[in-house]
Structure 1
Amino acid sequence: MKRLNFKNKIMVWVLIINLIPLIFSYAIFFNEKIKNDENNITKNLLEAAKVVSSSNEIRKNLQLSYKGGEIEKKVDSLTDIFRDIDIIVVANIEGIKYSHLDKNQIGQKFVNPVQWDDIKKGEGYFSKMMGSMGITFRRFEPIYDVNSKEVIGFVMVGKYYTAISDMKKNTVVMLCLLFIEAFGLAFILAITFANGVRKSLFGLDPEEIGRLYVEERLIIDNLESGLIALNTKNEILKVNSVFSKKYGKLSPKLILEKVSIYLEKKENTARNIEVVIEDEYYYIKILPIYNLSEYYGTILLIKTKDDVNRYAREITGIDQLVDGMRANIHEFKNRLHVILGLINLEKIDMAKKYILEIQNLNEYDFKKFTNIKNSFLKAMLLGKDAICKERKIQFIIDSQSQVSTENKSPIIEDISTIIGNLIENSMDSFKETHIIEKIIKIKIIETNKKIELEVWDNGEKIPQEYFSKIYERGFSTKGDLRGVGLSIVKNKISLYNGTIEFEQNEKWKFFKVKVVK
């Protein structure tokens, strides 16, 4: 069964709340109305019977047994006067009728049973029976002699039961129409109320609001940045757990004081500012929240300067270039020390020979990168080559490798970051191994439409159960949560709808990357 949404639930409950008292009140009203109608009929019948039975004109004519129609005329005049009276019958003590709605029955004997004992005792009574005019609700009342006070007859006044039934039906119909109108009004009010409540909740159900709140808390509390949420009056609404844990010595109010001058303008643009608090540098991103032109508040994101610098280094790969330069400088110093030592020992010929060997070696190293036209990428690869020499790792570039793009471009910079992190990952795989012949091989080919690259190494293998986790940020087979390189690689590749494949066999493990230009 399909669950009701929040709007329909409100409508149902509003209708139920309205219908319960409505049904009870209408039931009570209907019962009281029927009772009142019946009491009024009974009262009218009794009143009419008393009036007729106490009429001196009728009593005299009945006493004298006049049959000239005087009683009939008098009764007809009273019938027109009395309300809710359909028939009046006057009969003597023998049951002979002196008046009747059906004139043909005048002079005939009263056929239906009469409680003569009650009549002769001077007691009236009510009854319901089938008569010549149909089922009738009746009142019998004795008629006394004017002088002797003896019972000389009776009067029967009646109301047709069909009329009573019709009156009840009319009451039911009237109440049903009123109930339908009341229900319709309640339904319209329920819709209006439900729409108003849903609108005030931005069209969301409580379950959705609850789920969004939980999701919002999870997201906010798992940000890398500290977060402070402000309302439209720049009052603090919320502070995430990252701020409390990472920046415990700072207070939200202190941060608010530092950025208050920027909050006063309420500009609909985000901005980054740098502040100094207790001799430490912090970057604060001010993010105003607008929906069209309506201002809802501001979010402050706080990072330390070290966090920003580290993130920038990860994105740009500048650390890799710096490491490469350091390795080259270190190698250059070592070679200078060798040359200086040979000169001090006056081994001039050996020094010359060593310089020629270094020159040839450098020429060979540069020839490996002849087909890599991009200076940024080449500098990174030269740096990695120098680091590999320090660590006694053979760094081999496939002869088919070719990069024709010479100018600086975002995709080449990202490719440099990708291949640099993959090479770094390969170098790390040799740290805890005792492999004698350590080898890293790379291949990179650029075409008009795509760039393909491969990085191979014979270092430590990755257990198969970790294959699905190697791209997760912070995961490392070393177990110390150092792994960030492959997560950066995965992110860079996704920017270009590229693919990455990982395979390994008994000798090699390798990554294959394809990026669409």
Structure 2
Amino acid sequence: MKLKKKIALLSLSITILSVMISGLLIMRTMEESLEDEMSTNVLNISRAVAKIPDIIRAFEAEDPALVIQPIVESIRAATEDVEFIVVTDLEGIRYSHPNPARIGARFVGGDEAAALLEGKEYVSTAEGTLGLSTRGFTPIYNFNHERIGMVSVGILNDHIFQTKTQFKKEIYFSTFLGILIGLIGAVLLGDNIKRTLMGLEPKEIAGLFRERSSILEAIKEGIIAINEDARITLMNTAAKDILNFTEKDIIGRPIEEVLPNTDMVKVLHSGVAVSNEEKKICGTNIMINTLPVLHQEKTIGVIASFRDKSEVTALAEELTGFKMLVDSLRATTHEFMNKLHVILGFLQLKDYSSAEKFILDITAHHQEVISFIIKNIQDTSIAALLLGKYSAAKESAIQMNIHPSSNLTKMPSSIPSSLMITIIGNLLENAFDAVQYIEDKKVIDFLLLEKEEEIIISVKDNGIGIDLSHQPFIFQKGFTTKSDGRGIGLHLVKQSIDNLGGSIQVKSKTFSGTQFLIKIPKALR
């Protein structure tokens, strides 16, 4: 059975049961109330009639009926629902009756003895000359407090039954109306729940939940989710392992209480995603992406995914090493293609001595540069980067000077090669861009110097320089003066240096070149 039908049937069943029970209770209460009201009415009327002075004095008259009948009938006519008011003497002889022909005859019913013989006041139900009726009995006393007769006031049970029937009809109609409203409400409730569940059935939801749980546990990335109240709704096993998190019962707790050093609350309020941000949480350096969860353009939560930065760094170093090697080979290929064309020209001119000299010169110079880099820069990724940049510089007619005192042994474990490549690669690329706009000789001076406690990097060019008004903003993400730039290079440089606990100085004058001087401590601060 579909969820919508289940909900509708359940709601309708509850409504029908509730309405019917309520209707029965109301009906029973109304019947009892009606019976009590009728009994009270007949008894009150009989009491009132028994105390009328004219009726009491009439008992001493020669024919009491002549006085009593008009008085009683006038009262009966003025009283709603009362079928008869009968006044009798102690022998039960009638002095009044709705049918005058029955005056003088004995009272009929068999329930009058207690009033006539014992002087009791009560209500009973009995069959009289007019039919089954509810009757109230009250004894009549004269002015000397002597019992002289009785009064019986009655309402036919047929009338009571008709009144009850009318009440029941109203209750039946109300019950039917309640059930109809309940049916409509059940259908609307079913539709609403169905829409809330996006049309999914419970089995489908359960299946999706199992699949989601399996997927989240299979993902190697840590996943944390919070709701619009900034409380944790999800944390997978990978997240706990990466953060070395051992606490239990964290679902429902505020994220700031469990993991204070995240941007999840900030993203929750701003609705702006944060990508590839480095954070140190619970003593672990991670790369984290934080995304808002939107529903109808409203942020209803935040999801953060992250990985241990050491894993990302190791992968980046491996990939970067290959990339640097490819770039180096590509640049070298272009450079030697140009040189081969020169050699081909000398051969076509049959100037063999010049060709021989040119070959010896370029071979010696290139071998000298390669030997210097390989000998002094022992980190293969950085060596590959410098070879590639050197070849690219020669191809672009840029004189790239690597300072003869440059040296670097194996990189300390506290300094990932990937960050050094980010720093050096982006600074050299910026220098290439800076010198391409000048007509004089294009020169870039590079220094990579390892000292006992720190590593020094210097990149100096004779390019167009940086405008003084721009210098405070060059490390801001997105700031660029290039028409096709993205403003990310120097931001990555600054971020990498900050992560390594280093410092950077910039010296620049417009049209006089720029120098970046970086100092990175070998021991992590």
- Fold-level similarity (TM above 0.5): no
User: Which bracket does the TM-score occupy, shorter chain normalised?
Assistant: 0.3 to 0.5
